[in-house]
Amino acid sequence: MSEGRSQSGMIRAANLLALVLAAGGISVLAMVFKPQPPPEAIEVASSQQCMECHPGVAAEWQASHHGFAFENPEVRKLSQDFRNEECLACHAPRPVLAFAPGERVLARNSERKLGVDCLACHALPSGGVATANPNPRKNAPCRPQTVTRMADVNHCAACHNQHKTVDQWKTSPPELRGQNCLHCHMPPVFRGGGRRGFDHSFNASHDPDSLRAAVRLFGSWSGDQVEYGVENYGAAHNFPTDERSRAADMQYRWHLVGEEPGAWQQRYRFRDPYRDEVDLTNTQLPSGESWKETLTAPPQAEALEFRLLYKTNPYMTDEDAVVVESMLLKP
């Protein structure tokens, strides 16, 4: 994982975990021994209420794609403004914890605007909220209760396994897998009062730094043979994963002596095709694996330049795509 390139914030943060846990542990111990007043529980009907008391989490969530799941113009377009009500199930879900672990969720009736909201992930069928924290402040108004499933991949699988992201995780190399999805997607942060929290921004393919954390380009030049490629070394699932619309394109161009570099050549597309694209197969790059090929350098070549582009939909132009990484390889 440390092949000579600095790691992104997402992965680095996960490595800080041990430290943070040590600090958090002490404050939790202090709490356990304090007698706790009887809870003054409140009935939470709307995620708006959660946000008033948890402004730090709320700010991260609001900028995330979970917070955006109903208003997202891409989704609105494809679902004809949710006239296709089938799309409501995950984009405006009922609380996941009301369903058996890993089973798909179903649509709710109110406040759909809030998308995948606090209640969707935290609300318990019996009232109160779920946390993975084994020692939550039981007298907090929202009545937090320990539910280990909160930190289990099945929690995410309710919505993220239709395209097998969680199954891919299960077969990823142990050194990448971590304990669960949170390892990479919810790095620790600090909340007001020094309480340890977990980032609710859920950064991924809409965040260039996260994309960079997923892959690494490599290459070598010997004689006139040039090998280049890409390794999925930072995602514990395929790259790209989930939505079938996601595509990553590998492109190259030669630099010839005394000439401007030529046009980019499209070489390979990593993608899970739509179901009606029957002539294509799944070419996503599995976790820990590499794609590479060898080219014969033209006589005047002084460098091979190659790059990996990320497109959130397959029809996006190169200009609109994110350049995840590029490399200039010389003999």
Q: Which does 101 bind (CB under 5 to 8 A by kind): ligand HEC, another protein, none?
A: another protein
Could you give the string, one character per residue 145-174, with x where binding to another protein holds by CB under 8 A and - elsewhere? xxxxxxxx---------x------------
Q: How many residues bind ligand HEC (CB under 6 A)?
A: 93
Q: Pick from ligand HEC, another protein, none: which does 57 bind, CB < 5 to 8 A by kind?
A: ligand HEC
**How far apart are alpha carbons 302 and 169 in whole angstroms?**
40
90 is a contact residue toward ligand HEC (CB under 6 A): yes
Contact (CB, 8 A) for 41 and 108: no
Report the distance separating Cα 89 and Cα 61, nearest Å: 19
21 contacts: CB under 8 Å, gap ≥ 6: 196
Decide whether 90 or 303 has the Cβ nearer to ligand HEC: 90
Considering the rule CB under 8 A, would residue 138 count as an interface residue with another protein? yes
Residues 144 to 203: which contact ligand HEC by CB under 6 A? 144, 150-151, 153, 155-156, 158-160, 162, 165-166, 169, 176-178, 181-186, 191, 195, 197-198, 200, 202
Is the distance from CB of 98 to CB of 112 less than 8 angstroms? Answer: no
Q: Does 68 bind ligand HEC (CB under 6 A)?
A: yes
| 257 interacts with another protein by CB under 8 A | no
**Does residue 96 interact with ligand HEC by CB under 6 A?**
yes
Q: How many other CB atoms are found less than 10 A from the CB of residue 7?
A: 17
Q: How far is the CB of 111 from another protein (least distance, A)?
A: 6
Three-class SS state of 312: coil
Using alpha carbons only, what angle is made at residue 299 by residues 293 and 303, rounded to the nearest 5 degrees?
Answer: 60
Query: Smallest distance, Å, CB 30 to another protein?
Result: 10
Nearest distance in Å: CB 213, another protein? 18
Contacts to another protein from residues 277-296, by CB under 8 A: 278
Distance of CA 75 to the CA centre of its chain: 18
Question: How many helices and strands, by DSSP H and E, does the chain display?
Answer: 12, 11
The residues that bridge with 67 in the sheet, in sequence order, are none
Cα-Cα end-to-end distance for the chain: 25
Measuring CA to CA, which residue among 246, 41, 228 is closest to residue 128? Answer: 41
Q: Which of residues 264-323 bind ligand HEC (CB under 6 A)?
A: 312
Q: What character string, x for contact with another protein (CB under 8 A) and - otherwise, covers 97-116?
A: xxxxx-xx-x-xxxxxx---
Identify which of residues 100 and 257 has a Cβ nearer to another protein in the complex: 100
* Whether the bond into 240 is cis, omega within 30 of 0: yes
Q: Is 302 helix (H, G, I), strand (E, B) or coil?
A: strand
Question: How many other CB atoms are there within 10 angstroms of residue 234's CB atom?
Answer: 22
One character per residue 221-250, x = contact with another protein (rule: CB under 8 A): ----------------------xxx-----
User: Cis link prior to 286 (omega < 30° from 0)?
Assistant: no
Catalog residues that contact another protein under the rule CB under 8 A. Answer: 17-18, 21-22, 24-25, 28-29, 32-33, 45-46, 70-71, 76, 78, 81-86, 89, 94, 97-101, 103-104, 106, 108-113, 124-126, 132-135, 138, 145-152, 162, 178-180, 182-183, 243-245, 274-276, 278
